A and B are shown apart, each in its own frame.
Chain A
Amino acid sequence: MKAPVEGTTEASADGTAEGTGGRGRVRRRTVRAYGLAVAFLVAAVLVGAMAGAADLNPLATAAALLDRLPFVHLPGGLSPLDRAVLFQIRLPRVVLAALVGGALSLSGAGYQGVFRNPLVDSSLLGASAGAGLGATLAIVAMGGVNAQTLPVAAFVGSLAGVACAYLAGASGGPGTSTLLLAGLAVSMFLTAVQTYVLQRSTQDIQQVYSWLLGSLSAATWHQSVQILPYLAVSTAVVLLHGRHLDVLSVGDEEARSLGLRPARIRLAVVAGCALAAASAVAVSGLIGFVGLVVPHAVRRLAGTSYRLVLPLSLLFGAGFLVLADTLARTVVAPAELPIGVVTALVGSPAFVWILRSTRAVRT
Chain B
Amino acid sequence: MAQRRLVRSVATAAAALAALAAVSGCSSSGSGSAAPSASTSASSAAAASFPVTVTPSNGKVTVKARPQHIVSLSPTATEDLYAVGAGKQVVAVDSTSDYPKGAPVTSLSGLTPNVEAIVKYSPDLVVASQDSGGLVAGLQKLGVPVMIEPAAATLDDAYAQIEQIGQATGHATEATATVAGMKSQIAATVKQVGAAHADLGYYWELSANPYYSATSKTFVGQVVSLFGLKNIADKADKASDGGYPQLSAEYVVSAQPQLIFLTDNGASDGGQTPAVVAARPGWSGIPAVKKDQVVGLDDDIASRWGPRLPQLVAEIAQAVEKAPTK
Contacts and interface: CB of A to CB of B under 8 A. Distances in A.
Interface of A: 52-55, 80-82, 84-85, 87-90, 92, 142-146, 199, 202-203, 205-207, 210, 215, 217-218, 220-221, 329, 332-338
B218 interface: no
B282 A210 contact: no
A1 B267 CA distance: 64
A144 B250 contact: no
A335 B96 contact: no
A206 B251 contact: no
A202 B282 CA distance: 33
Interface of B: 95-96, 109, 111-112, 207-211, 235-236, 238-240, 245-251, 253-256, 264, 266-271, 280-282, 284-285
A205 B247 CA distance: 20
Given A81-B285, A144-B270, A215-B209, A332 B236 contact: yes
Given A84-B285, A218-B210, A338-B210, A54 B250 contact: yes
A92 B281 contact: yes
Contact of B251 (A53, A82, A203): A53
B96 A203 contact: yes
B254 A220 contact: no
A339 to B, nearest CB: 9
Contact of A143 (B254, B256, B268, B281): B268
A145 B208 contact: yes
24 contacts: A52-B248, A54-B248, A54-B251, A80-B285, A81-B254, A84-B285, A85-B253, A89-B281, A144-B269, A202-B109, A202-B111, A207-B270, A210-B210, A215-B210, A217-B209, A218-B209, A220-B281, A332-B238, A333-B236, A334-B235, A334-B245, A335-B240, A336-B246, A338-B210
A203 B303 CA distance: 12
Given A144-B267, A218-B280, 19 more contacts: A53-B248, A53-B251, A54-B248, A54-B253, A80-B285, A84-B284, A84-B285, A85-B253, A88-B281, A92-B281, A203-B96, A207-B270, A217-B248, A218-B208, A218-B249, A334-B245, A335-B239, A335-B246, A338-B246
Nearest to A220: B281
A333 B209 contact: no
